[in-house]
Amino acid sequence: MTTKPENDRVVIFDTTLRDGEQSPGATMTHDEKLEIAEMLDEMGVDIIEAGFPIASEGDFEAVSDIAKQAKNAVICGLARAQFKDIDRCWEAVKHAKRPRIHTFIGTSPLHRAIPNLDMDQMAERIHDTVSHARNLCDNVQWSPMDATRTEHDYLCRVVEIAIKAGATTINIPDTVGYTAPRESADLIRMLIEKVPGADEVVFATHCHNDLGMATANSLAAVEAGARQIECTINGLGERAGNTALEEVVMALKVRHDIMPYSTAIDTTKIMNISRRVAAVSGFPVQFNKAIVGKNAFAHESGIHQDGMLKNSETFEIMRPQDIGLAGTSLPLGKHSGRAALRAKLNDLGFDLADNQLNDVFVRFKALADRKKEVYDDDLVALMADSASEE
Ligand code: KIV
Ligand code: ZN
């Protein structure tokens, strides 16, 4: 049986290896999945959704090997609302010290039409499949896919059925990234208030980023009572991706003053796993991506560089070291000023008098107008040129 987290503790459920890998072109090899799972486990992720065991032989093998290897994390597999899926999922996750079965069905009108079940037939299917999963495993998560476009009365009804059938976590997916922060919070609050038995289970939030609101929607759900966030490294995932783990974790850390919830994540491991996921999935991280983008801790303009050299809090709200970076970077370009140029030249071993710096600064600006970035080697060459002309 899962234990409910302390009231301020948010469980981090990582689905990089399942929803993340469903991103077209993001397929990872067996060994790569094991490596990422080990890194997730080591960084303190509470639950790793390792795959969809019925999807392929390869997925089954990956989930069972991750289940065998995991040291601390709960290992979860995904299953549709079908006995054969749930049995296959259990066969894969049962090797874990702490296994979980996650079963789901689409409950919105659009999704109910696909298996052609009416509301009563679907409710019966939910009861039967969640009970079946619970007979196999004492840790069962149930998701009404497309919950944010499901009629509220029906959503309350099926969530209650899933709880009565033995689900221990109820996940509320915003499958198509349609909700907005206030609505995300209202939905969780409504379910917790209205559904009998809601206080016995953990509510989870699973957001997609189609409108760029996944992180905001996840945090709003937490403020309304959800205590599990489903997310992926670098926000990898279907279409525009899932909630990015690094964003919600750092938001809770940096703005603990207004969102007093904690996670078990060792944030200094974020950068490493971000780079590794980008490499194995083949999905590069955009330069200006929050937290892990190349420019997230880089400052080029003169005013910003000058500020950063005097006090890093002028333009940074978190320390780069907190996510595992060595430090801030002050790349030199046409927007840079004298202070950053002097600091960089000092690092390179050049100690210039003010008039010398003025001269080099003019040459530097001319070079920076021709190049996007001025590298250390460019500066060394520039200094050599200046010396030969003296
Ligand atoms: O987005 C979604 O609805 C899902 C479910 C399978 C939980 O990924
Ligand atoms: Zn999803």
Rounded Cα–Cα distance for residues 203 and 183 (Å): 16
Residue from 19, 179, 187, 232 to probe ligand 1 pocket by mutation (most atoms less than 8 Å from CB)? 19
pLDDT at 275: 98
Tell whether the model's pLDDT for residue 5 goes beyond 80.
no
pLDDT digits (tens, 9 = 90+) for 77-103: 999 999 999 999 999 999 999 999 999
For every residue of 71-107, which 3-state class applies, written as one string? CCCEEEEEEECCHHHHHHHHHHHCCCCCEEEEEEEEC
Q: Which two tokens stand for residue 14?
A: 């990582």
Whether residue 72 contacts residue 45, with contact meaning beta carbons closer than 8 Å, is answered with no
Q: Which ranges of 144-180 would DSSP assign to H, the alpha helix?
A: 152-165
ipTM of the prediction greater than 0.90, yes or no: yes
Mean pLDDT of the region 305-332: 96
Ligand 1 centroid, distance to 210 Cα (angstroms): 14
Given this model, what pLDDT does residue 133 score? 98
pLDDT for 390: 66
Structure confidence at residue 135 (pLDDT) = 98
- Residues 120, 9: Cα–Cα separation, whole Å: 36
**Tens digits of per-residue pLDDT, 192-201?**
999 999 999 9
Query: Which protein residues are within 6 Å of ligand 1, measured from CB?
Result: 19, 104, 143, 145, 171, 173, 175, 206, 208
Cα separation of 208 and 175, whole Å?
Answer: 6
pTM for the model:
0.95
Question: What pLDDT, on a 0 to 100 scale, did the predictor assign at position 385?
Answer: 86
What residues does 99 pair with on adjacent strands?
A: 75
Side chain identity at 51, as an amino acid letter? Answer: G
In the reported structure, the alpha carbon of residue 69 is separated from the centroid of ligand 2 by a whole-number distance in angstroms of 25
Average pLDDT of the segment spanning 213-228: 98
Q: Band the pLDDT of 3: cuts 50, 70, 90.
A: low
Calpha distance 178→148 (Å, rounded): 7
Going from the C-alpha of 283 to that of each of 21, 43, 76, 236, 280, the distances in angstroms are 11, 21, 24, 8, 8
Report how far residue 390's alpha carbon sits from residue 385's, in angstroms, rounded to the nearest whole number.
9
What is the tally of helices (H) and strands (E) in the chain?
A: 14, 8
- Is 208 annotated in a binding site? The answer is yes
pLDDT in tens, 237-271: 999 999 999 999 999 999 999 999 999 999 999 99
Residue minimizing CA distance to atom 1 of ligand 1: 175
Q: What is the mean pLDDT of residues 20-38?
A: 96
Which carries the bigger pLDDT value, residue 3 or residue 109? Answer: 109
DSSP 118: -
d(CA 115, CA 54) in angstroms, rounded, equals 18
Is residue 341 predicted with pLDDT exceeding 80? Answer: yes
DSSP string spanning 234-264? GG--STT-B-BHHHHHHHHHHTTTTS--B--
Both structure tokens of 239: 């279409």
Interhelix angle 57-69/83-93, nearest 10 degrees: 40
19 marked ligand binding residue = yes
For the CA of 145, the nearest atom of ligand 1: 3
Quote the distance between the C-alpha of residue 306 and its chain's center. Answer: 33
